[in-house]
């Protein structure tokens, strides 16, 4: 039977599904968990999971099949999917297929029958840890020994943002004002949320320089979500730094972190991240709390923002981490969570309207 072998030597056994090869092989990635009870389609196709092995904590996954229209991207860069019980998903009348069929088509290695509770508790105790999917546990142990000896590197040579971003810019028609989106692995529902307001949207690759974006004369800029460590993207941070005083900006998730770095702040890796649709966030101005959808492994260090020009206006109720910032001088605002709520609670979708009303792009 196949195994997940963590870098610390811990082994979890399961039954393979999806796109496992018939011969030897391994699939390595950072092992993370998501606490959402539904929305596995949007989660699996969220490019913020690029390079990761995802553990779903809900005991049954796949029960309503697979609906292609709910995909968040056309490509999938998830390394593996681990579940307790895999459902055939035969109960949905609207399904295009099953979760397992999707994994087979998109080369996702799956492992079912795993004690996901024990695995999640291990990650919470030890912190996020890399793992490797293998057919024999001995192969997994040898893999990590080779990594230790410097013979292998489980990490990619190219930052995952550059593997998720669009290859070239493209336009989404609309009759309203023109909004630019810097695509660092953008979810489709962020673009859909902008479309709902009728904006004309131009999506730019993450490597686009500030001058090229400014030459297109946008009326606002959205910095999207995306995978990986934001501090390893100095060239994108430099672009954001140049645009910060020149355009109204809305940063989402990774975009929020890039804004903080561009203003002189710092980011750091969370012990096991925030991933799920049940994270409470409180507004320090109104004391109102909302439930949010989140998917990130890094956070902004609040103490580093003292001279950044940003005020922290939103905090995570669980651990006090920074969930939202507003600039004191410029029309720039950001949130760490996912206001497009796909999947997750829908009470934060108003963030888009609030931002564009503030900068005068939506009239009452």
DSSP 78: -
- Report d(CA 337, CA 348) in Å as an integer: 9
**pLDDT above 90: percentage of residues in the chain:** 87
Go through 108-117 and write b for each residue having 16 or more CB atoms within 10 A of its CB, e for each that does not.
Answer: bbbbbbbebe
How many residues are given for the chain? Answer: 364
- Report d(CA 320, CA 318) in Å as an integer: 6
Residues 6+ apart with CB under 8 A from 234: none
Query: For residue 234, what pLDDT is reported?
Result: 98
For 10-38, what is each residue's pLDDT tens digit?
Answer: 999 999 999 998 777 899 999 999 999 99
Q: CB burial class (10 A; 0-12, 13-18, 19+) of residue 85?
A: middle
**Which residue shows structure tokens 């049954």?**
60
Query: For residue 362, what pLDDT is reported?
Result: 67
Question: Is residue 364 predicted with pLDDT exceeding 70?
Answer: no
- Indicate left, alpha or beta for 177 from its phi (over 0: left) and psi (-120 to 50: alpha): beta
Element (H, E) at 168: none
Domain residue spans of the chain: 3-148, 160-358
Closest of 185, 162, 172 to residue 73, by C-alpha: 185
Instruction: Dig out the tokens for 69 from the structure.
Output: 């229209």
Question: Is residue 363 predicted with pLDDT exceeding 60?
Answer: no
pTM comes to: 0.96
Query: For residue 210, what pLDDT is reported?
Result: 98
Options 3.40.50.300, 3.40.710.10, 3.60.15.10, 3.50.30.20; CATH for 3-148 is 3.50.30.20
Residues 13 and 1: beta-carbon distance below 8 Å: yes
- Average pLDDT score, the chain: 95
Question: Is residue 82 predicted with pLDDT exceeding 80?
Answer: yes
Closest of 256, 258, 251, 201 to residue 235, by C-alpha: 258
Question: Is residue 147 predicted with pLDDT exceeding 90?
Answer: yes
Residues 47 and 71: beta-carbon distance below 8 Å: no
Confidence of residue 91 (pLDDT cuts 50, 70, 90): low
Count of CA atoms in the C-beta half-sphere (13 A) of 82: 32
Closest of 252, 192, 196, 197 to residue 221, by C-alpha: 252
For 130-146, what is each residue's pLDDT tens digit?
Answer: 999 999 999 999 999 99
Instruction: Dig out the tokens for 278 from the structure.
Output: 């049940």
The set of catalytic residues is 253, 338, 340
Residues 206 and 184: beta-carbon distance below 8 Å: yes
The architecture CATH gives domain 160-358:
3-Layer(aba) Sandwich (3.40)
Compute the average pLDDT of residues 240-251: 97
Query: For residue 266, what pLDDT is reported?
Result: 98
């Amino acid at each position: 039977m196949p195994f997940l072998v963590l870098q610390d030597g811990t082994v979890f056994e399961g039954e393979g599904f999806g796109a496992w090869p018939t011969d030897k092989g391994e699939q390595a990635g950072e092992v993370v968990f998501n606490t959402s009870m539904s929305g596995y389609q949007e989660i699996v196709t969220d490019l913020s999971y690029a390079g990761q092995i995802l553990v779903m904590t809900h005991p049954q996954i796949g029960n309503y099949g697979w609906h292609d229209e709910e995909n968040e991207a056309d490509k999938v860069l998830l390394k593996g999917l681990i579940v307790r019980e895999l459902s055939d998903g035969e109960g949905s009348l609207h399904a295009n297929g099953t979760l397992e069929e999707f994994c087979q088509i998109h080369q996702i290695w799956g492992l079912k029958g795993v004690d996901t509770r024990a695995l999640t508790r291990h990650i919470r105790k030890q912190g996020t840890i890399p793992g490797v999917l293998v057919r024999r546990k001995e192969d997994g142990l040898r893999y990590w020994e080779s990594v230790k000896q410097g013979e292998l590197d489980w990490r990619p040579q190219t930052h995952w943002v550059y593997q998720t971003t669009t290859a070239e810019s493209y336009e989404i028609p609309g009759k309203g004002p023109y909004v630019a989106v810097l695509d660092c692995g953008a979810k489709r529902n962020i673009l859909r949320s902008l479309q709902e307001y009728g904006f004309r949207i131009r999506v730019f690759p993450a490597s686009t320089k500030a001058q090229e974006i400014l030459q297109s004369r946008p009326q606002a800029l959205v910095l999207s979500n995306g995978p990986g460590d934001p501090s390893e993207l100095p060239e994108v941070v430099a672009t954001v730094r140049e645009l910060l005083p020149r355009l109204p900006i809305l940063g989402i998730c990774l975009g929020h972190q890039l804004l903080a770095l561009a203003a002189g702040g710092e980011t750091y890796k969370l012990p096991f991240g925030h991933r799920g649709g049940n994270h409470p966030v409180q507004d320090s101005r109104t004391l109102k709390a909302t439930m949010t959808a989140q998917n990130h492994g890094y956070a902004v260090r609040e103490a580093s923002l003292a001279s950044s020009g940003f005020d922290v206006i939103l905090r995570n109720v669980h651990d006090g981490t920074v969930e939202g910032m507003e600039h004191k001088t410029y029309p720039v605002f950001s949130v760490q969570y996912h206001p497009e709520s796909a999947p997750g609670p829908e009470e934060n979708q108003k963030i888009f309207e609030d931002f564009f009303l503030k900068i005068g792009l939506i009239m009452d």
